[in-house]
Amino acid sequence: MRTDIAQPVRLADYRAPDFLIDRVHLNVTLAGAQTRVEARLEIRRNLKGRAGAPLVLDGDELDVLSVTLDGREMSLETCARPDRLTIADVPDSFTLVTETQLDPAANTKLMGLYRSGSAYCTQCEAEGFRRITYFLDRPDVLSVYTTRIEGDRVETPVLLGNGNLVETGEIEGTSRHFAIWHDPWPKPAYLFALVGGDLALVEDEFTTRSGRRVALGVYVEHGKEARAGYAMDALKRSMKWDEDAFGREYDLDIFNIVAVSDFNMGAMENKGLNIFNDKYVLALPQTATDTDYAHIEGVIAHEYFHNWTGNRITCRDWFQLCLKEGLTVFRDQAFSGDQRSRAVKRIMDVRTLRTAQFPEDAGPLAHNVRPETYLEINNFYTPTVYEKGAEIIRMLKLIIGDEAFRRGMDLYFERCDGTAAVVEDFIECFAETSGRDLTHFKRWYTQAGTPRLTVQCDYDESARTLTLDFTQATEPTNGQPDKEPLLIPIALGLIDETGAAFELDSKGATSAELARGVFELTGASRRIVFEDIDRRPIPSLMRGFSAPVNLDTSLSDADLLVLLAHDKDTFNRWQASQTCATRWMLRAVDAIRNGGTPDDASQYAAALDAVLAAFENDPAFTAQAVILPSESDMAREVGRNVDPDAIFYARKILRSAIGKALSGRLRHVYDGLAPSGAYSPDAASAGRRALRNAALDLIAAGAPAEGAALASAQFRGANNMTDQIGALAVLSHLPGEARETALDSFFRAHAVDALVIDKWFALQAMIPEPETLERVRGLMSHHAFSMNNPNRLRALIGSFANGNPTRFNAPDGSGYDLLVETVLEMDSRNPQVAARLLAAFRSWRSLEPGRRAVAESALQRVSAKASLSPDVRDIVQRSLGG
């Protein structure tokens, strides 16, 4: 394991590579601990590089056997180290051949070439290729790859690589065979992939709009072929959608997906050979929930869309990571919205943004969407780069309009195809097609933190005017004490108490703003006065969540209830419900901390009753509307001196109050949505199941005995995993024999299915009871638990640290102790996973003083360890502010 102290990498220090590698010929011999890789590189000096510079190639823990330059053998003692190959005097153009030996089974970092089960597979983003062979392992070196893979016919009957298959054959006199793959499209090393193993193939084909037939393959473990059908269907729908929505056609003859059980990330977009965490491929009604199906659809689409936004156009350096990831998240969100419900998809995307990215922006790990410096690039695959990066693209489209945005995307694909681009290349395309100066807009890429938008609303009945005063401010973040105003698009409308809309008229706004209902805040403040308003209006602000901001308004609870009942913007109807619940719980938190009694919640419950009464109109939206803000949401709203226990009890009290007040309505909804017929993962059916399970949760909160009986019956009778796990989730919060019986039954029924058992571990880790820590420690000794499998570790320890705020943040620090122990143990095995687990401390500075001190002490214990990996050292130092 690397334990050297990483030096900062700075965007300002970027320089072009001294050499370029035009063609790469790899000969990979898969042979267990004696796996060998011969790399023949056709290299030339880069005219944009430094004249006379030595050749320096990256390596990482490499065991080198030989190095030759233009046929001349080089001295390994003078040129080769495990982490670097340096040759001082080289010609302007030459061929370098290296041979390295690997032990994939010993590679527990799961970066480079490793084994997942019996299969060989790779993960090279961001810097994994250097663990296979010496290379200029940076994204701005684009090469054409030809890969010969050799393996045992029995152990590895399937040999897969990037691009198109050009040759296969047997090696005479042996039990071995080979396959040669050629990718004609230049790509960086991080997109290299190979797979060798005994895998089952699910085949299909897709005909592109130009008439080319593309062979499609999804490779899975034998016996799991039936679970790959939905992934294949999602792939074909993604290919068609990208042609229709963005004019992008697939450019190879073959597209393969391989599902593996040991994977650090979700999936990887390697050119023509996507490698997936199997949780984002495998699904049957009896093993996968509606959420799993939606994730499979979204992740399959995301990785496929990378073929253009990430592969054909890649990023010049890792600081530009958002250029491929944020843009591709935007594209996969649009795809899923078109496949399902745009409004509900938008709500769910904002939930994710607020849960994962907003806390990151508010804590010590805050960073720009395009960072300016990093110590370990693996730690910047973050919600800020992905989700906030997508929000920036969405704002850009809103600001310049659909037509200019599509023309800008077309120009980007045309101009930057085959290049390693930067954010400026991307934005310039839209500046040209829209005719707008987007310099101010680009601050979203260079300024960390979530802006707070405050809106004061004043209606003057006699003057028939509504005055809206907008102000923005962003809190300081590490390295950025002073913040500049951002360009914030504000989509708004005005309605009266019946829901009737007002025509927008203001001398202080442009005709385009009034016509589109999208107003731009470019400075610290702006006043807009709407005229000819003949009755009191209620502003519907930030429709569709038009910018990633925290919103404070002077709207009353009564105003919010009107919006909940009548606003035509579905997102703002949901937001009104969330804001009402948040305000109630904030008051309850104060009451609990001060020994008082929370307010009566009947008014809010009555509003939800009205929403539930019309549940048949849109069950999916209704489900979202009645799910209360999470404990993490509330912690974000409290902001400082957070007491997780007070938040937990405030939310528990409100859930109970709603469950009791609406018991009859909830039971009517629950019974009315009883399943009939076969399971289908379509959006409408999923929405009905989501609402039924949300109703069950509230019934149990108000009447635990009734809820337990209903949940137990649903658990026993469910014909799909969504309903079974929904029932088990309700039971998991109700102590008693029914819970333990159901948990035991669930494990026995699914013991051989790793992805389902991950759910079993996760549910128990999130039980909000004092005994949960002991339960989690006991589960770590369970025969089904493994520290070496990232999915299993995330299911148990990750769920405890990120999904159980009251127990992870136990005042005595016992929850922190568990995480620290796990991180330190994992650091030597898999630094990436260890670092991501440690990021659960991202909001420690917002805790109340007692917990804050204990959390800081826990982080200092990690920091004090001498042999930390660069991954973990980076997270702990930034968390502590060092």
CB atoms within 10 A of CB 171: 12
Q: Strand locations in 724-831, DSSP E?
A: none
Residue 375 and residue 9: Cα distance in Å, rounded? 6
Residue 782 and residue 666: Cα distance in Å, rounded? 38
Q: What are the residues facing 201 on neighbouring strands?
A: 219
Is 275 within 8 Å of 193 (Cβ atoms)? yes
In the chain the first and final C-alpha atoms are separated, in Å, by: 23
DSSP one-letter code for 353: I
CB atoms within 10 A of CB 763: 21
Q: What is the DSSP string of 463-498?
A: TTEEEEEEEEE---BTTB-S-PPP-EEEE-EEE-TT
Residue owning tokens 């669930």: 746
Residue 859 and residue 254: Cα distance in Å, rounded? 48
Is 876 within 8 Å of 868 (Cβ atoms)? yes
Residue 699 and residue 337: Cα distance in Å, rounded? 30
Longest CA span, the chain: 98
Report CA Rg, the chain.
Answer: 28
Q: How many CA atoms lie within 13 A of 672 on its CB side?
A: 15
Is 708 within 8 Å of 696 (Cβ atoms)? no
Residue 673 and residue 686: Cα distance in Å, rounded? 11
Q: What are the residues facing 501 on neighbouring strands?
A: 495
* 619: phi then psi, degrees, rounded to nearest 5: -60, -35
Interior/surface letters 324-354, b for 16+ CB within 10 angstroms, e for the rest: bbbbbbbbbbbbbbebbbbbbbbbbbbbebb
Best CA proximity match to 332, nearest among 275, 286, 271, 394: 394
Q: Strand locations in 129-175, DSSP E?
A: 143-152, 158-161, 164-170
3-state secondary structure 522-580: CCCEEEEEEECCCCCCEEECCCCCCCCCEEEECCCHHHHHHHHHHCCCHHHHHHHHHHH
Q: Give yes or no: 740 in active site.
A: no
Is 180 within 8 Å of 151 (Cβ atoms)? no
* 185: phi then psi, degrees, rounded to nearest 5: -95, 120
Structure tokens at 33: 């601990």
The helix (H) or strand (E) run that includes residue 452 is: strand 452-460
Amino acid at site 186: P
* Residue of 150, 269, 297, 303 marked catalytic: 303
Residue 467 and residue 470: Cα distance in Å, rounded? 10
What residues are labeled active site?
303
